[in-house]
Amino acid sequence: MNAYLKPISIRKGVFSNEKSVVLEDFEGDKTSGFFENKYITNGKLGVTVCQEESDLSLIHLPGRTLEIPGDKGYLTVKKTQLEYIKSGTRLTPLDILVKNEAKNE
């Protein structure tokens, strides 16, 4: 887990150790899934960023969604939807933008 994704909503799951979470992809389409409580912190879902290109990130979810056929736990989101974790510090989208611009110079 190297980032947090802000979901549309988080509700009680079927079981006490999980939550029902609604997520939004980079096109604005919504999907939902059940994720263990240990992956949810301060209203955000812990995810792993696998690949980045332009303003998009391919993330690996700590579980599967219900509505994506053949879902393997991956979702493409806008980078602005993420809050990166680095050495115990969370970066805001502005921090990420500044960091990416510094790389390109």
Give the per-residue pLDDT at 101. Answer: 63
Q: Is residue 88 pLDDT above 60, yes or no?
A: no
Q: Tell me how far apart the alpha carbons of residues 64 and 93 are, in angstroms, rounded to a whole number.
A: 25
As a whole number, the mean pLDDT across the chain is 84
User: In this structure, are residues 92 and 83 in contact, taking their beta carbons and an 8 Å threshold?
Assistant: yes
What is the spatial distance between Cα 29 and Cα 21, in angstroms, rounded to a whole number? 14
Mean pLDDT of 19-39: 93
pLDDT value at residue 19:
95
Residues 36-82: pLDDT tens digits? 999 999 999 999 999 999 999 999 999 877 765 556 788 999 999 99
Q: Which two tokens stand for residue 72?
A: 């393997």
